[in-house]
Amino acid sequence: MRNAMRTTVTILTLLLLTSISGRLLACSCIGQRTVQEEVKQADAVVVGTILSKQIVTLTDSTILKMFPIDTTMRNLPMSKMTIARYDLLIQDIYKGKITNDTLAIYTGLGGGDCGIRFEIGKKYIVYGENDTYFGQVNNDFKFPKAKNTYWTYNCFRTTSYFQDEIIEIEKYAKRKHIDKEEVIFADPDGSPTFKDGGDIELKKFITKNLRYPKTGECVTGKVYVGFTVDTLGNVKDIEIKRGITSSTDEEAIRVVKMLTFIPGTRFGRPIETKMVLPISFTIEYKDDK
């Protein structure tokens, strides 16, 4: 009798979890808010570049309470939810209590969970909120709360960067520049371009001139270098936004100092423009034969 009851409880629990899992995969947005409505409703409105992505797995808190010792139940696929965390390097803040130049942006993986598939290195306009439940269906998968951390999904107006959206945002939100000493545009009408051939030649130039540090360290990855392109196309105010080691960071700065750009423009006139450039360090293995 006891075994039969245990089996019944397990079956009912599985049916419940299957139902929850199915609802979490259903994504529907009833219309999209206007820019004015979104700016008013959102906890944060920012412009920035995606630096990195991390996969995060959450466990249903109800299951943790119901089965504190039963690892079998806790490890079932239907007891878990996989989401993505992206690090966003901020270029402009229009709304939000933000105290860092990098935000953690959580979202689903895309598709049925309403998540947004951000591309690393690409610039976005992000509308986020700081108090939600994933999928807004099941209260057991709670949003990881922390400072400078927000949630977004495709029912918001979060989108790849484009000027028309910014023009609308500026009607309803006051821009807060990270650099308080002077106004430097992060959203020019025309972005700076490498003077000797644009993006393709820029990559070739970096590859040709970058030297892997001879420190004995086997390090790989990307160094994100922030800098300002002035009205003459020269680089200034260079800083490491995200580095690897002191030697790779110094080498990345050395190469950036060699760059010259055609300056960005606004209303047809050259302006100072902030940029972030990822520089990759890889180890090349050579055959001694």
Would you list the DSSP string of 214-238? Answer: -SS----EEEEEEEEE-TTSBEEEE
Of 53-62, 107-116, 146-155, 233-242, the poorest mean pLDDT is in: 53-62
User: For the residues 197-201, what does the mean pLDDT come to?
Assistant: 86
Of 68-82, 143-157, 160-174, 190-204, the poorest mean pLDDT is in: 68-82
Hey, what amino acid is at 71? T
Spatial contact of 209 and 258, defined as CB atoms under 8 Å apart: yes
Q: In what order do the strands lie in the sheet with 235-242?
A: 235-242, 221-229, 273-281
- Does 83 score more than 50 pLDDT? yes
Q: From CA 127, how far away is CA 146, in angstroms rounded?
A: 17
List, for residues 137-179, the tens digit of each pLDDT value: 444 566 677 888 998 988 899 999 988 898 899 888 866 544 3
CATH topology of domain 193-281: TolA/TonB C-terminal domain (3.30.2420)
Tell me the residue ranges of DSSP E strands in 74-220.
Answer: 80-95, 102-107, 123-128, 149-151, 159-160, 193-194
Calculate the average pLDDT of the chain: 76
- Does 38 score more than 90 pLDDT? yes
Q: From CA 224, how far away is CA 206, in angstroms rounded?
A: 13
Supply 256's token pair. Answer: 């950036």
Q: Which of 177, 226, 48 is nearest to 123 (CA)?
A: 48
Q: How far is CA 166 from CA 35, 155, 159, in A?
A: 9, 18, 11
**What proportions of the chain, in percent to the nearest 5, are helix, strand and coil?**
30, 30, 40
Q: From CA 107, how far away is CA 117, in angstroms rounded?
A: 8
* Domain 2-172: top CATH class: mainly beta
Would you list the DSSP string of 122-152? Answer: -EEEEEEBSS-BGGGT-TTSB----TTEEE-
Q: Give me the phi and psi of 237, to 5 degrees please.
A: 55, 50
Q: In what order do the strands lie in the sheet with 44-59?
A: 149-151, 102-107, 80-95, 44-59, 123-128, 159-160
193-281 shares the fold of 2-172: no
Q: From CA 77, how far away is CA 82, in angstroms rounded?
A: 10
Domain positions in the chain are 2-172, 193-281
- Does 181 score more than 60 pLDDT? no
